[in-house]
Amino acid sequence: MPRILLVDDHEIVRKGIRSLLSVRQDLNVCGEASNGVDALSATAALNPDVLILDMSMPGISGLEVTKRLRESGVHARIVMFTMYDSQGLLNEIRFLGADGLVYKQNAARDLIVAIDEVLSGGRFFPPT
């Protein structure tokens, strides 16, 4: 069963994602983190298959977490989660090695699809 780590600095967002994922019995939320430092520690401790990673957090951003995880050889799939929509940001997310991007406003429609896609070895990015 795929293990998912939720990383967002807002508890209500983490609860919402957890609720959204609860419809799927084959997905296991193995942990949560509220900032980038905790995300790095939780990834090392829990070895998730997928991180749902908020891009914008205080301290270490999701972009920096992605960069550090890829530089350290972590192969967990990373789906960035953001409310910001820009082509430049999309390019940076791809360059850093994230496997997908879901806009928060489209989470109900796209998040589970994105998780399934990255777990099957694909990538999930909104159309440009």
pLDDT in tens, 48-86: 999 999 999 988 999 999 999 999 999 999 999 999 888
pTM equals 0.95
Token digits of residue 70? 């890829």
What CATH number is given for 3-119 in this structure? 3.40.50.2300
Distance in angstroms (rounded) separating the CA atoms of residues 90 and 40: 22
Residue type (1 letter), 91: N
**Long-range Cβ contact pairs of 100-106 (< 8 A, separation 24 or more):** 100/124, 100/125, 101/125, 101/126, 102/52, 102/126, 104/13
